[in-house]
Amino acid sequence: MTVACVKRAFKYRFYPSDAQAAELSRTFGCVRKVYNLALAARTEAWARQERVNYNRTSALLTAWKRTEELAFLNDVSSVPLQQCLRHLQTAFTNFFGKRAKYPRFKSRKRSRKSAEYTTSGFRFRDGRLTLAKMTEPLDIVWSRPLPEGASPSTVTVSQDSAGRWFVSLLCEDVSVQPLPAAGQAVGVDVGLDHLLTLSTGEKIANPRHERRDRAHLARAQRSLARKAKGDGANRVKARRKVAKIHARIADRRRDGLHKLTTRLVRENQTIVIEDLTVRNMVKNRSLARAISDAAWAEFRSLLEYKARWYGRKVVAVDRFFPSSRLCSHCGIVSERMPLDVRTWTCEDCGTTHDRDVNAARNLLAAGLAVTVCGAGVRPQRRTPGGQSATKQKASQREP
């Protein structure tokens, strides 16, 4: 399996000077303003049954810069402003393709602060990055080297809610190549008691990152709740403290998931998972916090793109497949299996199963069947009494 050269983003933290921070903050504000103006113009045009594309909004941007009210848009680099119009065009393309909801306006308090620069908006020489409208390079902490000979095609600068500054450099990484073929295949069952259970019987503990900091987070949130509403310095300081705790939790979670997914991709040729609808599952108020902390959706996302990079295959089994209730030894399907039942004994063959290991083995069997025979194929299931479901239906048709 051949893979084209992969474009990979390398994210680093940097520490701007006061002048650089002020310039970037102005740029973030202008990007948000232009995005909202363009979205409003496209929405009004759509109500009049007119089509407005990227070229039209680009012409509008030129006109806005000439007005006295929006003359401040000329004070920042034009590249991030043009890029935000391209992002809006992509958002509408996804909306009309029914892949996303209608684009929403950016908020000063809630939306991500970021600006994207293409090659005309930055200079990268000898490991030093200088953005447009700046005279000094950014003070970047190079926590890992860029690929040898790599030259960034896009640079994205962002600031998170904890006040940390990041720069992401998009480069072609020639080192990402398909791994040698491995004969291993594994079924993966996600859970809460254990984050992952493999069909090999191995169980990976759930680190429960949010629970470890829950008391610390609760104190910080109570302190924030006592501060007067508004943009006062004390409230900003308390909000920043809460954001730092959330950021630390998210960083630890992401780091653990990266290590797990990299290991699974390196060791196995085929990885079978369950096609879960996490968005619906978090509506369960009793389990929403634990499910969100486990980050099942992020786990799948990381696993899938790493599998594409390294020539592996990820198979998602239908969410209605009874992996927990199906006996992996004889094929009997149990009628009920409450969540508190962690081990059970098959009524037909007498095999005692660990619920999660049994589910992982059934997922593996189903995934291999899909790989060999095509989508929709499932392992043959038997009903109590020893007959397979197919044979039982045939016997019922006999006179």
Q: Choosing from 173, 210, 274, 293, which is the catalytic residue?
A: 274
Catalytic residue (choose from 116, 173, 293, 356): 356
> Among 23, 189, 210, 293, which one carries the catalytic annotation?
189
Which residues have CB under 8 Å from 99's CB, separation 6+?
none
SS3 state of residue 256? helix
Decide: 206 and 294 in contact? Cβ < 8 Å.
Answer: yes
What is the b/e burial string over 287-302, where b = at least 16 CB atoms within 10 angstroms of the residue's CB?
eeebbebbbbbbbbeb
- SS (HEC) of 86-146: HHHHHHHHHHHCCCCCCCCCCCCCCCCEEEEEEHHHEEEECCEEEECCCCCCCCEECCCCC
Q: Which residue type does 375 have? A: A
How many Å apart are CA 246 and CA 294, to the nearest integer? 14
274 is catalytic: yes
Listed in sequence order, the DSSP H helices in the chain are 18-47, 54-66, 78-96, 209-212, 214-226, 233-267, 278-281, 288-294, 296-309, 355-373, 389-397
Going from the C-alpha of 251 to that of each of 159, 246, 268, 348, the distances in angstroms are 15, 9, 26, 47
Q: Is 356 marked active-site?
A: yes
CB 143 within 8 A of CB 110: no
- Quick check: 34 and 81 in contact, CB under 8 A? yes
Catalytic residues: 189, 274, 356
